[in-house]
Amino acid sequence: MPYKPTQEQQQEAAGQITRPMRRHLVQVYLTLAAMVGIAALGATHLGTHGDGAGLIEAGGVAGSLMGIRYLQRDSLWRWALLGTYALLSGMSLTALLSVHLTWDPSGALLLSALSATVFVFLGFSASALLAPRRSMLYVGGLAGSMVGLLLWSALANLFLRSPALMSAELYLGLIAFSGFVVFDTQHIVERASAGWHDVPGHAVDLFMDLFALFVRLAIIFLKKDQERNQRKRRDSDDERGGRRGGRRVVF
């Protein structure tokens, strides 16, 4: 009797996403959504501005991430650390959100940045899922090279203090982390196809990409709105100055 491969084996051979992979991806994205909710809670209700708060948050984020990476895969502590990581990441956004809401109390600008982040993330993640498997893994190398360039430019800008270089860093970082969304999504699929169904580890990879995209888009949107406001003020001042200069003085 000739051997007949199962439907999942046929899909695997054809480079398609099998049912177990889809189930794993659903779990990863649901976990990611929960992490975003926890981060939002931390950013809006639990953030602090006290001295040393940023250092404590950074230490907690680094420690949580190390635990998620290196604890045993079936350890329940990884899930607790996943929530801790999301909460502290959200708390670290308090200063950025405060600047945004001081500039635009309506929150419309912040909502625009958040919406853009979601669209960019979902767009690149979907493109990675719909593309042929393993076809975009090379993007990880390019994105990693960009991050290396970002680190060098950030170090140089500590001494140069160049606004143009800072803007270039923001846009380069946006491109780099968009690439990481593509790479990490395909990497998750390949790991799942090999039987590595690490939901916490894969969710934290995508959360880091989403977080980095949001921070950069929020800063870009804020800078653009401030520049637009300054241009309007300048134009208004020039117009008033022109009217004053055009008046005739009658004795």
> Residue 182's closest CA among 152, 140, 154?
140
**Residue ranges per domain, the chain?**
19-230
Q: Average pLDDT, whole number, for the chain?
A: 86
Assess whether pLDDT exceeds 80 at residue 237.
no
pLDDT range class, residue 11, cuts 50, 70, 90: low
CA distance 97 to 123: 25
State whether residue 198 is helix, strand or coil: coil
CA distance 209 to 139: 14
Most confident of 36-45, 151-160, 235-244: 36-45
For residues 199 and 24, is the Cβ–Cβ distance under 8 A? yes
CA distance 25 to 21: 6
- How much of the chain, in percent, has pLDDT values that exceed 90? 54
CA distance 237 to 125: 46
Assess whether pLDDT exceeds 90 at residue 136.
no
Tell me what pLDDT residue 18 has. 85
CA atoms lying within 13 Å on the CB side of residue 76: 0
pLDDT range class, residue 242, cuts 50, 70, 90: low
pLDDT (mean) for 165-172: 90
pLDDT (mean) for 2-18: 57
Digit-coded pLDDT (tens) for 17-67? 888 899 999 999 999 999 999 999 999 876 555 555 677 888 899 999 999
Tell me what pLDDT residue 146 has. 87
Paired tokens of 132: 């042929």
pLDDT (mean) for 161-169: 88
Q: Look up residue 249 and give its DSSP letter.
A: P
CA–chain centroid gap for 88, Å, is 15
Tell me what pLDDT residue 74 has. 86
> Residue 138's closest CA among 148, 128, 123, 126?
128
Assess whether pLDDT exceeds 60 at residue 102.
yes
Tell me what pLDDT residue 13 has. 46
pLDDT (mean) for 170-195: 92
Digit-coded pLDDT (tens) for 197-214? 999 999 999 999 999 999
Residue 64 burial (CB < 10 Å; 0-12/13-18/19+)? buried
> Residue 27's closest CA among 39, 16, 35, 15?
35
Q: Look up residue 71 and give its DSSP letter.
A: S
Tell me what pLDDT residue 114 has. 94
pLDDT (mean) for 121-139: 85
> Residue 78's closest CA among 69, 87, 86?
69
Number of residues in the chain: 251
Most confident of 134-138, 158-162, 206-210, 233-237: 206-210
CA distance 20 to 42: 33
Return left, alpha or beta for 107; rule: phi > 0 is left, psi -120 to 50 is alpha, else beta: left
pTM of the model: 0.85
Higher per-residue confidence, 196 vs 137: 196
Tell me what pLDDT residue 17 has. 81
Tell me what pLDDT residue 58 has. 86
For residues 9 and 56, is the Cβ–Cβ distance under 8 A? no
